[in-house]
Structure 1
């Protein structure tokens, strides 16, 4: 008991000592861990700084390289531009001017061509008009025929035979047209002259204008004396001249005409083929 009583302080001391030892160990361990953690953080910070420095250096180097590359490109561009041939902006401007001049010349040519075409058309129209005027004012002195038709004066080389028209026959032709078609339209007067000339050409009728007009029982104004009394008016003269110059209101195979309301003999109307009607006259072949 004495022993226990004497040594009862030992246990508390041992406990305290054990606690101290454990605390020291924990403190040491905690210090080491903190030191290791701090060391790791310092290492990472150092590495990060080194990386940042490296990145900054890399960026600086790239910028320097870019500036250098830009400088090199600029220098190369200048060198390339200086090495170009003499064809520069001045040459391009000259080509543009030449192009504009060429366009202006083409436009001028087109205008001149259009003007020349218009003048040629006007000239042709004048010639045609002159021929038309001559056709109604100037009768031809000679007629040209083929076996089937009366030719225009321009086609005389195609004729198989010709016929010379005397002044007496011209006047006689004007009188028969006036006597037969005084009240008829101009086209009807030309058609009457066409019938006389068609008979002149045909082998089935007399071979002169006088004989055609005076053939027995063919033209009523000859039989009743009216043809002798009439004086050809302007329309009759123009119609005859036009017919002699080749104007045709009826075909070349038209040989008859009559007024269905005035004719006493309608044999032609019953026996011949109708061609057309102009005014009061009906024409047959």
Structure 2
């Protein structure tokens, strides 16, 4: 009875022991298989087994090259670990992105600098062009004023003993002469009659001769007296002077001469057309100064 009572606990004990041994064996095998899988995954990815414990579920993902990588494993305690491969890869990606951003920013800054430089260049060119146009406008205005002044006959002429002065030189004058409207018309008509077919400079020169005689002590002291002096101007003798009407060029030439334009010197007192003149005394007795068109001028 005692023997049976002692041996009846052996069978349950053996059963428990067998179950424990089988369980331990299964656990050990599972750990070995799981460890080999983890080691193989780490080895294939080329990542060291250094790990940092974090609390999240185990997952797999593919990198940019399409290679499957193990990023975390879960141990039996439920703690998830992340391999240093993930941190290294994320750090590399962040560094690459930062480099791209810096490069983009540098290119943007360079582009902005070039744009600013181009804008400054264009602004400078526009400023120079505006200044050039302003100078041209000022020059045109000055020329217009000068032309208007030259083509407007003065009311008073200013002389020295040797020359006719411009209106700006009147302070140097030793005497002056007031020009009437009638005398202005006379001067225009004699120039038209004597030099109608001559160059513009020739018209101015004929007016110069009349005014030089007005200044000279050897001739009458009025424009009318100079023009109508006997045997001096053939258009007066033959009546042509009374028949002509001064044209625009003649009027302008006379006005410029009155304002001081000179095509011949102040001592020039004679002119004639050698091919048309009947009397060549002046040609043989006076000094030639200049020839303009068909007229030769003498002093």
Give how far 1:118 is off: 5.5
Q: TM-score, normalised by structure 2?
A: 0.56
Cα separation, partners in 2 of 1:118 and 1:261, compared to 1, 3 Å: same
Give how far 1:124 is off: 3.3
Q: CA RMSD in A?
A: 3.0
Consecutive aligned runs of 4 or more in structure 1 exceeding 6 Å deviation:
107-111
What are the equivalent positions in structure 2 for 1:11-160 lying under 5 Å apart?
Answer: 115-116=130-131, 119-120=134-135, 122-136=137-151, 138-160=152-174
1:179-231, Cα deviation, whole Å (9 max, x unpaired): 11111111111110010011111112111100011111111111111111111
What are the equivalent positions in structure 2 for 1:186-197 lying under 5 Å apart?
Answer: 186-197=200-211
Matched with 2:95 is none
Q: Which protein has the bigger helix share? A: 1
Give how far 1:139 is off: 0.9
What is the CA–CA distance in structure 1 between the aligned matches of 2:176 and 2:129, rounded to whole Å? 43
What is the CA–CA distance in structure 2 between the aligned matches of 1:245 and 1:237, rounded to whole Å? 12
SS in 1 for 2:272: strand
Q: Which protein has the bigger strand share? A: 2
What is the CA–CA distance in structure 2 between the aligned matches of 1:141 and 1:117, rounded to whole Å? 37
Q: Which of these two proteins has the greater Rg computed from alpha carbons?
A: 1
Give how far 1:152 is off: 1.5
Matched with 1:179 is 193
Matched with 2:288 is 274
Q: TM-score, normalised by structure 1?
A: 0.59
SS in 1 for 2:165: coil
What is the CA–CA distance in structure 2 between the aligned matches of 1:200 and 1:241, rounded to whole Å? 16
Paired residues in the alignment total: 195
Give how far 1:116 is off: 4.5
What is the CA–CA distance in structure 2 between the aligned matches of 1:176 and 1:156, rounded to whole Å? 26
Cα separation, partners in 2 of 1:128 and 1:157, compared to 1, 3 Å: farther
1:122-162, Cα deviation, whole Å (9 max, x unpaired): 313421232113422x2111111122211121222222221
SS in 1 for 2:185: helix
What is the CA–CA distance in structure 2 between the aligned matches of 1:160 and 1:127, rounded to whole Å? 30
What is the CA–CA distance in structure 2 between the aligned matches of 1:223 and 1:157, rounded to whole Å? 38
Unaligned 5+ segments in structure 1 are 1-100
Structure number with the bigger relative contact order (C-alpha 8 A, sep ≥ 6) is 1
Matched with 1:91 is none
Residues 1:199 and 2:213 aligned together: yes
Cα separation, partners in 2 of 1:111 and 1:157, compared to 1, 3 Å: farther
Matched with 2:230 is 216
SS in 1 for 2:161: coil
